[in-house]
Amino acid sequence: MATEYNFKEIMERPERFAPGHRMCAGCGAPIAVRNVMRALHDGDRAVVANATGCLEVSSFMYPYTAWEDSYIHNTFQNAAATCSGAEAAYNVLKKKGKIKENFKFIAFGGDGGTYDIGFQSLSGAMERNHDMVYVCYDNEAYMNTGIQRSSATPEFADTTTTPAGTESMGKPQNRKDLAAVIAAHHVPYVAQTTFVQNMKDLHIKAEKAIYTKGACFLNILAPCPRGWRYNTPDIIQITQLAVDTCFWPLFEVENGEHWTLNYQPKKKLPIEDFLKPQGRFAHLFKPGNEKYIAKMQEDVDRKWEELLTKCNA
C-alpha cells in the first residue's frame, strides 16, 4: 500500500460511483461511497454488496445503476454474509485458475442494516476473517423508512419513534459504540472517520482497509439532512463539529489491540456546538432542558477520556 498520497491523482481517478443517482442533496452516503471506491487501485475490480437502505433504493433502480463495479443488492440483514460468500467463491475460482483479475470485496450498509438488523451477519463475517471491507455509512437512524431510531441514534435525538414532546426528551438510550464492538472481534483493521481535512483521513483509511488482508471495518459518520434537519450545504461543517466536540473521534484499531488516535482538537468544543445546527436536538435548547445537554457533555467527556487511555494519547 502506498505511504505517500498524491490527492490530485486520487481525485482524477475514474468514478466508480457514477452521478445520476437519486440520493438527496446534502446526503453523506454518496460522499462516503465515492471516496471509499476511489481508494481502489488501477486494475483492481470490486464486488459490492449493498444492504437495503437509502443508498440501495436510490443508486440501483433496475435497469439503471450508479455502480461501475459488480453490484449485489441484499436485504437488510445479509450484506456481510453475501459479501463473505462471494469472497470465498472467488478464492476457490482463482485457485483453480478460472479467474485471473484481482477483485476486492466491499459491503455497504446504513446504521440500521449494520448496527441492528445486519449485525449477526457482520459479526459472523468479521469472526471468520474474510478478506473484505464492511463500510457503515452511519446517519444515526432508519432514514429510508421514515427516520426511526436505531441503536446508532444519539441519546435525546428526536425521531419518529422517539418524538420529543411533553412526555419525552427524545431517545432515552445512548448510542452503541459499534467500532469498539467490531474491534473486540480482533480483526486486522477497524477505523472511524468522516468528512474532514479535505477527506484525507477517509482516503487513507479506505485504502488501508481495502488493502489490508482479512476482515476490515470502516465506520463513517454520514449526516442526513432530512433526519438531522440541518441546512443542506452545511454537511462538512456538521462533520467537523462532530470531530472537534469529540462526539465522533477519528481513530483506528489494528488486531483489536493497537489503538491510534488520528486527530486531537487543539480546542475541544462544547457539545452544544454540534447539537445546535440540528433540528433533531432543538428541544434541548428550550429553557429548563440544560441538564440534558450537560448529560450529553458528561458522556462525551467520559468516552473521550477512555479513548485517550486506549490510544495512550
Residue range 287-294: mean pLDDT, rounded: 97
* Percent of the chain residues past pLDDT 90, beyond the cut: 93
- The residues, any chain, with a CB within 8 Å of residue 158's CB and separated by 6 or more, are 164, 170, 279, 280, 281, 282, 283
What stretches of the chain show up as alpha helix (H) in DSSP?
7-11, 28-37, 54-59, 79-95, 111, 119-128, 178-183, 200-210, 225-228, 235-244, 271-275, 290-311
Residue range 95-107: mean pLDDT, rounded: 96
pLDDT digits over 206-222, tens only? 999 999 999 999 999 99
pLDDT band at 1 (very low <50, low <70, confident <90, very high): very low
Instruction: Quote the radius of gyration of the chain (alpha carbons, Å).
Output: 19
Amino acid 8: pLDDT? 78
pLDDT digits over 225-279, tens only? 999 999 999 999 999 999 999 999 999 999 999 999 999 999 999 999 999 999 9
In a 3-state reduction of DSSP, which class is residue 13? coil
Amino acid 68: pLDDT? 96
Give burial (CB, 10 Å; 0-12/13-18/19+) of 286: exposed
Q: With both helix axes pointing from N to C terminus, report the angle between 28-37 and 200-210 in degrees, rounded to the nearest 10.
A: 50
pLDDT digits over 168-218, tens only? 999 999 999 999 999 999 999 999 999 998 899 999 999 999 999 999 999
Distance CA 222, CA 111 (A): 10
pTM: 0.96
Distance CA 74, CA 83 (A): 9
Residue range 124-137: mean pLDDT, rounded: 98
Amino acid 90: pLDDT? 98
Domains of the chain: 7-311 (3.40.50.970)
Amino acid code (one letter) for 243: V
Helix, strand, coil shares of the chain, percent, nearest 5, are 40, 20, 40
Q: Name the average pLDDT for the chain.
A: 96
Amino acid 310: pLDDT? 97
Amino acid 143: pLDDT? 97
Residue 101 in grid coordinates? 483479475
| 306, pLDDT greater than 50 | yes
Residue 167 in grid coordinates? 412526555
Amino acid 4: pLDDT? 63
Residue range 286-307: mean pLDDT, rounded: 98
| 2, pLDDT greater than 50 | no
Residue 80 in grid coordinates? 456481510
CB 54 within 8 A of CB 29: yes
Residue 208 in grid coordinates? 488501508
| 3, pLDDT greater than 70 | no
Report CA-CA distances (Å) from 218 to 172, 207, 253, 303.
Answer: 27, 11, 11, 19
Amino acid 20: pLDDT? 87
